[in-house]
Structure 1
Amino acid sequence: MSDWTFERDAIRAFRFVRCGFDAQTGVAQLVYAFDDGPELVETVTVPGAPFAFDAAREAAVQRALRLLHLIAGVSNYKAAVPEEIRIEGEAIDAATATLLEGIYLNGLGEFAYRNGLDLRGRIRFPVSPPSPSGRGAGGEGTGIVDATSEAEPSPQPLSERERGFAPALGLRAHALVAIGGGKDSLVSIEALRAESIEQTVTWIGGSQLIAACAAHTGLPTLNIGRQLAPQLFDFNRQGAWNGHIPVTAVNSAIMAFAAVLLGVDQVVFSNERSASYGSLIPGTGEVNHQWSKGWAFESAFGDYLQSHVAADLHYYSLLRPLSELAVARQFAKTDRFDAHFSSCNRNFHILGERPTSRWCGVCPKCHFVFLALAPFMPKTRLVGIVGRNLLDDAAQTAGFDALLEYGDHKPFECVGEGRESRAALAALAQRPEWREDVLVARFASEIAPQLDADALRIEPLLALDGEHRIPAALWERLRVRFSA
């Protein structure tokens, strides 16, 4: 295949070739290809090897690995978005295909919009009846799980008749809690700590910022490695489609796989209810940059894990009942992480980060986090965290207008709803320490008079929502904490 070249528009098929896991090294291999091109090998490394499982858990590891293979393929598929998808060596059921099509279509919504592509009706995962085969995995005593080995066929997906009957594995009560270095995950970590929930702070990739923030929690940590196929970067130089993917979906699949490996029963993210709302684009409709942080993904993925992987594996967002403003209010209650957290996405890139400054001060995340925290903490504290007063800088007008959805749409970033930004600025306009700042004064004089005063009240946005997957007993204990 040395003479194969990447020609984006000539590619006809994307192939899921095989996946496997070496329990002695903790390395999972996810293998893909376009047409008859070279294999694209992605690796995920879970520290803690060697792993040992009984038969039931080994079968669940295979199911979680296969799901990870299928979801993580989105990073490669997007390079050419061919019309045909092939899954080699195994079949998937209709429920799996439905889950994957939803993740790929909605999770690539911003990617499609920015590249002028219409993916509706194009993404179709083939559904085939499971072939009769044994449910063994890997050679006995090898410590290797191979989800597509011809010598040892993997368990076939559960049939439609069997859906909802994935076995319980007897997983121990322990939470893998995703940390991204920002305020949201720290609110979750502290809430679980207060409720004496055993947890391991978990992140994927080599970010120094996240590692330092995780270490500051003082809790056990788990750093999972992920290495993309190196050819992807060559493909980008050769004209591949590029853009945003549903990263949280991929990370959720990685952490679910890790949870089964480690024998723990909870995978916890910190996505608030605001994540379910996208950007309203005139002539296009809603495009949600953070779709895989939203409720539609959480509910579908969490249900799927319990029906197809392990009945006692719980996936949920601890902050789903809260708005972004409600999360900011919780974060402001402690200054423990003021010098350690960062919500500036310009610090986090696939090819590295720039940890010398935790806040750039000009991106949508910096804008929104500054605005969301402002009503709930002293001005001097907030300015000290970010390094300057972003609301007293006329050069930032366009950025804040986008947050307000004033003459622009919500940015393609993980930021709150426009109504939250409007309510935050309305609250600041009533406070002597803020109301003279240039952007607060402009809002009060030019924008607020055009809006319904009742819609600018901040209190209704702090109310808790009932739509979530938090275990009932834990939610009863957290409800009082999050209401204050």
Structure 2
Amino acid sequence: MSVVFDRAAVRCFRFVGCGFDPATGIARLRYAFDDGPELVETVTLPGAPFAFDAARAEAVEKALRLLHLVAGVSYYKAAVPDDIRIDGYGIDDATAILLEEVYLQGLGEFAYRNGLDLHGRIRFPRSADAGGPSVPVGLRRHALVAIGGGKDSLVSIEALRAAGVEQTVSWVGGSQLIRACAERTGLATLNIQRQLAPELFEYNRQGAYNGHIPVTAINSAILALAALVLDADQVVFSNERSASYGSLIEGTGEVNHQWSKGWAFEQAFAAYLTRHVAADLRYYSLLRPLSELAVARQFARIDRYDAWFSSCNRNFHLLGERPTSRWCGVCPKCHFVFLALAPFMPKPRLVGILGRNLLDDPAQIPGYDALMEYHDHKPFECVGEARESRAAMAALAARPEWREDAVVARFRSEILPRLDARDLAIEPQLVPDSEHGIPDAVWSRLHAHFAA
């Protein structure tokens, strides 16, 4: 019998408890609203059974609790009650501060779209001492590299390969598109399964709040747990510096769709893992020093993934994916990837990858206007900054093979005259930034690779 869910009647969200079974590799994360039924999520790590010494077991437990708390955002958002309780254990100030930032900022787009103000409303209870600092647990030199099937993670994978870093290509969920792309790398792979509590979908049908969540934060916590269980000292994501900039909404301010891909989250999460979970566990984004255009330039130098990768988010859904095409050709991600690659890739190759020339279709003009923040705000998608889109379009406007295409020609006649030419150069945006968390031993081998 289904449970009736009334979001307005909910007063409390509870973190009921969590556990990890080394014999099966299954983590169970339990939640509830008020005194209602438990919502149980499972995360399954392949390779069981596992055995840990005392120090590793303690670090695994800390990582498990962190995952329990971060993944709870998927359920909390259904009603966003003011009262948050943690039943099975206590947390200290540092943990509460991290979680309050993840929930507030990570639910920024969700709050905007649902007309909610979450400022001052999300308060995690403090009930434990901080304890001593974390200790090294003897992790081997190895990287779990997150792959999403798009160009960014493939650039990271190939850069690490060139630098001689041992790695396992890792992803969460059952996407066959991602699996095919991961297998194309020829490297070891790790597929982690995450099963949301089925009641959540019923709650959504009954009017629960729904919307975007900080999924990268959740996947980061999953891979941190996996690194400790599977013995790897690095968790590597592929979030470029553009991820730190959101959409500027008139009357609201900045709302960042990809906040948990940004530098602020990376710094906070990495520091927490090192100080509170395991001193020898590193978390970082390999592409943090790069702009989206710099990533596109790197990807254009690789052709082995042309028929395998997809950055189209319409292909990836919790309830399944669209296997008929890797590119829809009409979403902001398709728009931006096409535009970002165009200055660095021969036109026939790029059109062959996406199946058509998006820049010669007048119907795509509004989508490209939004990317350039021309009479619209940046889309709520993982796309580059408006200045990158404008610079890429300006570069194409000067090239004979592109300048007469419908979207480019319109940019050349209507938008370009309004812009300052000094802000449209691509070259300054290709210089690696000094702000990143990449370990020195890795960065010393990659800096010249990215700067070339």
| Equivalent in the alignment of 1:118 | 117
2:324 and 2:219 mapped to 1: Cα distance?
Answer: 26
| Equivalent in the alignment of 1:309 | 277
2:283 and 2:113 mapped to 1: Cα distance?
Answer: 31
Question: SS of 1:343's equivalent?
Answer: coil
Q: How far is the alpha carbon of 1:195 from its aligned partner?
A: 1.0
Per-residue CA deviations over 1:111-166 (Å, capped at 9, x if unaligned) read: 00000000001100000135xxxxxxxxxxxxxxxxxxxxxxxxxxx33xx3xx20
| Equivalent in the alignment of 2:406 | 438
1:12 and 1:435 mapped to 2: Cα distance?
Answer: 58
1:289 and 1:29 mapped to 2: Cα distance?
Answer: 28
1:311 and 1:59 mapped to 2: Cα distance?
Answer: 12
Query: TM-score, normalised on structure 2?
Result: 0.99
Question: SS of 1:475's equivalent?
Answer: helix
1:228 and 1:413 mapped to 2: Cα distance?
Answer: 23
| Equivalent in the alignment of 1:58 | 57
Q: 1:48 is aligned with what amino acid? A: G
1:420 and 1:227 mapped to 2: Cα distance?
Answer: 37
2:49 and 2:331 mapped to 1: Cα distance?
Answer: 42
Per-residue CA deviations over 1:159-193 (Å, capped at 9, x if unaligned) read: 3xx3xx20001100000000000000000000001
Q: 2:249 is aligned with what amino acid? A: I
Question: SS of 2:170's equivalent?
Answer: strand
Q: Of 454, 464, 468, which aligns to 2:422?
A: 454
1:473 and 1:112 mapped to 2: Cα distance?
Answer: 40
Q: CA RMSD in A?
A: 0.8
| Equivalent in the alignment of 2:24 | 25
Q: Of 295, 311, 329, which aligns to 1:361?
A: 329
| Equivalent in the alignment of 2:6 | 7
| Equivalent in the alignment of 1:67 | 66
Q: Of 343, 346, 349, which aligns to 2:311?
A: 343
| Equivalent in the alignment of 2:238 | 270
2:431 and 2:242 mapped to 1: Cα distance?
Answer: 13
| Equivalent in the alignment of 1:425 | 393
Matched, 1:95 2:94: yes
Question: SS of 1:306's equivalent?
Answer: helix
Question: Which moved further from structure 2: 457-466 or 357-366?
Answer: 457-466
Matched, 1:238 2:237: no
Q: How far is the alpha carbon of 1:443 from its aligned partner?
A: 0.6
| Equivalent in the alignment of 1:382 | 350
| Equivalent in the alignment of 2:77 | 78
Matched, 1:470 2:438: yes
| Equivalent in the alignment of 1:403 | 371
2:143 and 2:223 mapped to 1: Cα distance?
Answer: 11
Question: SS of 1:300's equivalent?
Answer: helix
Q: 2:4 is aligned with what amino acid? A: T
Per-residue CA deviations over 1:45-103 (Å, capped at 9, x if unaligned) read: 00010000000000000000000000000000000000000001211000000000000
Q: 1:169 is aligned with what amino acid? A: V
Per-residue CA deviations over 1:267-312 (Å, capped at 9, x if unaligned) read: 0000000000000000000000000000000000000000000000
| Equivalent in the alignment of 1:184 | 152
Q: 1:450 is aligned with what amino acid? A: R
Question: SS of 1:264's equivalent?
Answer: coil
2:57 and 2:127 mapped to 1: Cα distance?
Answer: 24
2:8 and 2:427 mapped to 1: Cα distance?
Answer: 52
Question: SS of 2:142's equivalent?
Answer: strand
Q: How far is the alpha carbon of 1:6 from its aligned partner?
A: 1.0
Question: SS of 1:29's equivalent?
Answer: strand
2:308 and 2:325 mapped to 1: Cα distance?
Answer: 11
Question: SS of 2:55's equivalent?
Answer: helix
Question: SS of 2:248's equivalent?
Answer: strand
1:102 and 1:250 mapped to 2: Cα distance?
Answer: 14
Q: 2:421 is aligned with what amino acid? A: A
Unaligned runs of 5+ in 2: none
Q: How far is the alpha carbon of 1:334 from its aligned partner?
A: 1.3
Cα gap change, 1:6 to 1:368, in 2 (>3 Å): same
Q: How far is the alpha carbon of 1:4 from its aligned partner?
A: 5.3
2:356 and 2:120 mapped to 1: Cα distance?
Answer: 48
| Equivalent in the alignment of 1:371 | 339
Cα gap change, 1:367 to 1:18, in 2 (>3 Å): same
Q: How far is the alpha carbon of 1:3 from its aligned partner?
A: 8.7
| Equivalent in the alignment of 2:188 | 220
Question: SS of 2:169's equivalent?
Answer: strand
Q: 1:357 is aligned with what amino acid? A: S
| Equivalent in the alignment of 1:145 | none
Q: Of 382, 392, 400, which aligns to 1:414?
A: 382
Question: SS of 1:443's equivalent?
Answer: helix
2:219 and 2:178 mapped to 1: Cα distance?
Answer: 15
Question: SS of 2:141's equivalent?
Answer: strand
1:282 and 1:448 mapped to 2: Cα distance?
Answer: 24
Cα gap change, 1:251 to 1:3, in 2 (>3 Å): closer
Q: Of 201, 204, 207, which aligns to 2:172?
A: 204
Q: 2:227 is aligned with what amino acid? A: A
Question: SS of 1:28's equivalent?
Answer: strand
Q: How far is the alpha carbon of 1:355 from its aligned partner?
A: 1.4
Per-residue CA deviations over 1:386-441 (Å, capped at 9, x if unaligned) read: 00000000001100000000000000000000000000000001111000101111
2:318 and 2:230 mapped to 1: Cα distance?
Answer: 27
Q: Percent identity?
A: 76
1:279 and 1:355 mapped to 2: Cα distance?
Answer: 30
Q: 1:239 is aligned with what amino acid? A: G
1:464 and 1:436 mapped to 2: Cα distance?
Answer: 32
2:101 and 2:297 mapped to 1: Cα distance?
Answer: 33
1:476 and 1:209 mapped to 2: Cα distance?
Answer: 33
1:219 and 1:323 mapped to 2: Cα distance?
Answer: 26
Query: TM-score, normalised on structure 1?
Result: 0.93
| Matched residues, number | 452
2:435 and 2:76 mapped to 1: Cα distance?
Answer: 32
